[in-house]
Structure 1
Amino acid sequence: MGDPIREAALLDAARKEAGAPKPVADFVHLHLHSAYSLSEGAIKTGKLKDLCLAAGMPAVAVTDTNNLFGALEVSDTLAAAGLQPIPGLQLSLASDVKGARPPAIVLLAQSEAGFRRLMRLSSRAYLASASPDYVAAALSWFPDEGTEGLICLSGGFDGPLDQLFRLDRGDEAMALAARLAELFPNRFYVELQRHPSRRARPVESDLVGAADDLGLPVVATNEPFFPKADDYEAHDALLCIAEGAYVHQEDRRAVTRDHYFKSASEMRALFADLPEAIDATIEIARRCAYRPRTRQPILPRFTKEAARAGAGDDGLEAEARELERQAREGLKTRLASGALAAAEADYWDR
């Protein structure tokens, strides 16, 4: 039996060589790290746009680690190219597992309310963390913050469910899955990733079993960190630089050569036995209908002062007078507070 992934890649190449129109992909990436996943992701915004267009992928979710730094840039760039940007976040959760990176879930914004929750959760995680090297949210925040407008994926290999199953803490994993399903009613998906070269105990059967037992849907992701498989070595060096490690070290963070932006046909071949996991990506993309947009700053106006002075309705003249008044009062206070290095008139002339 041949390699289905290689066959899918060959089919894509043959279609391109024949000049056949690119079909609309029946898979979208919902867990992807851009270059804004600092010292971790290596996909720039412009490159992401090109990858989506080349793959015929109508939508993509950018889920950078604990931040939304690139959300607006990604939104404007992809939308201008006719693509659907799905704002998201990979949010780390506090864990009792010592010496390990905190596990993370993936949150996708369905609406403006959901995006506002992403912003609050990201900010709160940074403010509540004692060290910038360990940023993590608490699951107990979600009842207060609310989850409406958010879709949650379990996080894949670095997610809390995978981590607990690998540690043979299956009961805790089941309890956590049930809790996430409760927090995100009809909006929680068990995330499956297939990277065969991972040197860790596979837990996909545990994840699928948990989904079946709890009546939860599954979704397939590949979690791309770099554009093409050939970029693996350069990305591996990036991770080493970020951690102050060496390439030959065994006890360091590493991803696999398969963590690239795979095509829809490659992903469908990879999950040929679980087509519903691929179909779920399109379902989720259709459930998301919001993107952040560029807008002018919203600044206060001195409308009461403008009305008293008889200025125009926009209050621009009043604002200018108010700024001048505050500047003069501030300078007067500074001049009275200490010795001058020049004549007082020189300060006023400036």
Structure 2
Amino acid sequence: MSRTSYIDLHIHSEYTQNNGLSTVPALVERAVSYNMDALAITDSGNVSGVPEFYEVCIRSGIKPIIGLGFYFADDSRFAQSTQKYHLVLLAENNIGFMHLLELAERSFTQGFYKRPRIDFELLETYYDGLICLTGGLGGVVDKYLYANKKNDAVCFVQKCLSLFGDDHFFLELQDNGLKKNQEMIAQLLKLSKETGAKCVVSGGSFYVDRKDAFKCNQLRQAHGNNPLDGDGYYFKSPEEMSSLFSMVPHAVQASRAIADRCAVLLNMDKCSQIPRKDDDLSIIRQLQGCIMKA
């Protein structure tokens, strides 16, 4: 398989419950058709899709990159705030995956209010082995910038750089066909120059094909969730992403560099035995038993 310059590091599957439409087999099949040799899963608030994703990727010759789109409390996980921010964490190695699961468990047992949440205090304990992406339009940095809270955005970026280091923290650039995307790309590139934080391109898809946009919004609205604007949240090819971000080829290449660094090794037999319909906490705890010993 030829190596593409772009690997998608931010994808929602149907395990982003009542929000995402993409099935794991369909995502992996499309990745194979795109000649991608790696792919990430970053469902919002849970890792319930990881067992199926890991198994299907391995059987298809794709390296699975395991992540989670966390809900982030910008004050404290114990505060009953209705603000909703996203933060994407990718496991770089087995230590990172163990920490990802620790954060996931505590998001339910300590930080649950409306949804499972983590905060910076938890990140300071469980950051090792993790790569942090800012999460796109729903992320902390983008939302601060869009609300004209530049100082808050800079402060958050600086805290993350101090914690993760500049090789493990990235400002996430996305283009799903919205004017807001273009505004954020410009602001994030400027923020990158001001803070020294690196940028990476990601997709942030919720469905595989553009034609699935309407069906995805039907699913979302049927469960009381907001529809997605436009029809640009589909799983784009490396060629399309390279074209969309031709002005920042280094941010496209960063996705490949990050993908090359990520390697999580799980016990395939144990992973495949985890019931797909177990509750989120049960799946988290079963996945902890799937991590291969060094």
TM-score normalised according to structure 1 size: 0.72
Aligned to 1:217: 198
2:36: which partner in 1?
57
Equivalent residue in structure 2 for 1:31, among 10, 16, 28: 10
Deviation per CA, 1:299-330, whole angstroms, max 9, x where unpaired? xxxxxxxxxxxxxxxxxxxxxxxxxxxxxxxx
Q: 1:120 corresponds to which residue?
A: 102
Q: Match for residue 304 of structure 1? A: none
In the alignment, does 2:156 pair up with 1:176? Answer: yes
For residue 206 of structure 1, the aligned residue among 166, 187, 192 is: 187
* Aligned-partner Cα distance in 2 for 1:292–1:126: 23
Look up the SS of the partner of 1:259 in the other structure: coil
Contact 2:210 2:231 (8 Å CA) reproduced:
yes
Residue of structure 2 equivalent to 1:283: 257
Q: Match for residue 163 of structure 1?
A: 143
2:122 counterpart residue number: 141
Q: Is the 8 A contact 1:89 1:106 kept in 2?
A: yes
What residue is the counterpart of 2:66 in the other structure? 87
Measured against aligned partners, the alpha-carbon deviations of 1:151-196 in whole angstroms (never above 9, x if no partner) come to 0011111110000001100001000001011111120011011233
* TM-superposition CA deviations, 1:228-256 (whole Å, max 9, x none): 00000000111101216xxxxxxx44243
* Counterpart-to-counterpart distance in 1, 2:180 and 2:241: 21
Cα distance in 2 for residues equivalent to 1:220 and 1:139: 24
Query: Structure 1, residues 12-44: CA drift from partner, whole Å, max 9, x if none?
Result: xxxxxxxxxx85422111000111111111111
Contact 1:86/1:291 (<8 A) preserved: no
SS at match of 1:165: helix
Answer whether contact 1:166 1:201 (CA < 8 A) is retained: no
Which of residues 233, 236, 259 in structure 1 aligns to 2:217? 236
CA distance in 2, matches of 1:212, 1:24: 29
Take 1:100 and 1:197, find their aligned partners in 2: how far apart are those partners? 25
Name the CA distance, whole Å, in 2 between partners of 1:187 and 1:81.
28
Tell me by how many angstroms 1:106 deviates.
Answer: 0.7
Structure 2 Cα separation of the partners of residues 60 and 68 of structure 1 = 15
> Does 1:188 pair with 2:188?
no
Q: 2:88 — aligned with what?
A: 106
* 1:105 CA displacement: 0.9
CA displacement at 1:295 relative to structure 2: 4.1
| Offset from partner CA, 1:257-297 (integer Å, 9 cap, x none) | 11101000000000011111110010000110114333459
**How many correspondences in the alignment?**
267
Tell me, yes or no, if structure 1 residue 197 matches structure 2 residue 178: yes
Which residue does 2:286 correspond to in 1? none
Kindly report the root-mean-square deviation, in angstroms, between the aligned alpha carbons of the 2 structures.
2.2
- Note the residue ranges of structure 1 that are not aligned, 5 or more in a row: 1-21, 245-251, 298-350
Check conservation: 2:174, 2:181, Cα contact below 8 A. Answer: no
Unpaired stretches in structure 2, ≥5 consecutive residues: 272-294
Q: Secondary structure at the match of 1:203?
A: helix
Distance 1:294 1:224 in 2: 27
**Using CA pairs below 8 Å that are at least 6 residues apart, which structure has the higher relative contact order?**
2
Q: Which residue of 1 aligns with 2:245?
A: 271
State the distance in 2 between where 1:142 and 1:99 align. 19
AA aligned to 2:141 is: L
